[in-house]
A and B are shown apart, each in its own frame.
Chain A
Amino acid sequence: MPIIIFIIIIFGIKENKNVFDLFIKGAKKGLEITVKIFPTLIGLFFAIGLLNNSGIIEYITKIVEPILEFIKFPKEIFPLALLRPISGSASLAVATEIIKNNGVDSMVGLIASVIMGATETTLYTIAVYTSSVRIKKTRNILIASLAADVTGIMMSIIFCKILFAM
């Protein structure tokens, strides 16, 4: 990370850019983004908090547990895997809860972190991109994108287990 920052700033200096002004401009944008998503996060932490404490997640996880065990899928990750393609902010809320509850440097915490970094909100992206040009026939794009998501999630688990074997 420091190396990336170093390279970027050297480039800026070499090209005689007002590096600090640019930085401030970008940081301002960052602040706007964070403020903009705050109401969404409040709403979702509320809903996710209810889900977590109603016992319904344990109930559903218990039903699918044999399958998860069979494919060696960590059951703590299951709610995140379900929500990740659907909603970015909801999965952010769930991932934060999972990481907090299982320990940030535990295997489950690491896997949840990697999944958040390695996958995107597929359904939202498809909806925005197709509706912007008013297209209805989407030619199985969902299959390709969801296959990519499943691969991303599975690979996150596999790479974590290989790289962080304890």
Chain B
Amino acid sequence: MLNILWPIFVVLSIFFAVISGNVENLNRAISTSTEGAVSLTLTLIGTTCLWSGIMEIASNTKIVDYLAGVLKKIIKYLFPNINKNENAQKKIIMNVIANILGLGNAATPLGLQAMEELQKDNIEKDKLSNNMMMLIVLNTASLQIIPTTVIAIRTSLNSENPTKIIFPIWLSTICAAIVGIIITKLLIKADNN
């Protein structure tokens, strides 16, 4: 994606700046732009390491089992007939848990393994199955308990209350996930008729 976007951004900006006589601003931008990346990375390093550490503890305890117990019922509703393929069910649950705990790097491999399991049950191999659609929608919703990256950015910019945004993030995420799930269910229904 960025192989397309990045050159467009750069070329378009330079082109536009030259036409509108804004080149001086661009010169300044080029020399200061890397500062932003450096300071963002410096802030992210601390928080990311801290929370990855905490979540590593969580993923090695029974917390995972408790979450799996709660999730099983929801998973059954979202993925009908998933009982037949126990491996797929397990991978999906682990994928959702990794998302919830904010372990993005663990979530993606688990999600892809779940896709492979689901592909085994898929009748038309070049087309997404119902369960695959649901898995993708769940992964495009940001189901995270602690939005660590945002908190890190807010902390670095000296917010009075960096964690103030957690509650509205939960509310917005839940709304988005519900809309995604409902539309996916509707799309599946429309296809069956």
Is the CB–CB distance between B33 and A50 below 8 Å? yes
CB-contact partner of A45 in B1, B34, B118, under 8 A:
B34
Given contacts A45-B37, A117-B142, contact A148 B13 (CB under 8 A): no
Assembled-state Cα–Cα distance A52/B135 (Å): 36
**Minimal Cβ-Cβ distance residue in B for A24:** B53
Given contacts A41-B40, A45-B34, contact A27 B172 (CB under 8 A): no
CB-contact partner of A53 in B17, B38, B116, B177, under 8 A:
B17
Distance of B165 from chain A, by nearest CB (Å):
5
Can you list the 7 inter-chain pairs with the closest CB atoms, starting with the nearest?
A26-B56, A30-B52, A148-B180, A49-B33, A152-B176, A117-B147, A50-B13
Is the CB–CB distance between A119 and B176 below 8 Å? yes
Is the CB–CB distance between B128 and A130 below 8 Å? yes
Assembled-state Cα–Cα distance A42/B38 (Å): 8
How many residues on the A side are at the interface (Cβ–Cβ under 8 A)? 99
| Residues of A contacting B191 in the complex (Cβ-Cβ under 8 angstroms) | 139
Is the CB–CB distance between B171 and A155 below 8 Å? yes
Is the CB–CB distance between B63 and A52 below 8 Å? no
Contact sample, A vs B, 8 pairs, CB 8 Å cutoff: A12-B57, A33-B105, A55-B22, A93-B40, A129-B115, A148-B179, A148-B183, A159-B168
How many residues on the B side are at the interface (Cβ–Cβ under 8 A)? 97
Assembled-state Cα–Cα distance A85/B153 (Å): 20
- Provide the B59-76 mask, 1 if CB < 8 A to any CB of A, else 0: 011110000000000000
Chain B residues packing against A (C-beta within 8 Å): 1-2, 5-6, 9-10, 12-14, 16-17, 20, 22, 25-26, 28-30, 32-34, 36-38, 40-41, 44-45, 48-58, 60-63, 105, 108, 111-112, 115-116, 118-119, 124-128, 132-133, 135-137, 139-142, 144-147, 149-150, 153-154, 157-161, 163-169, 171-173, 175-177, 179-180, 183-184, 187, 191
Distance of A12 from chain B, by nearest CB (Å):
5
CB-contact partner of B60 in A12, A28, A86, A159, under 8 A:
A12
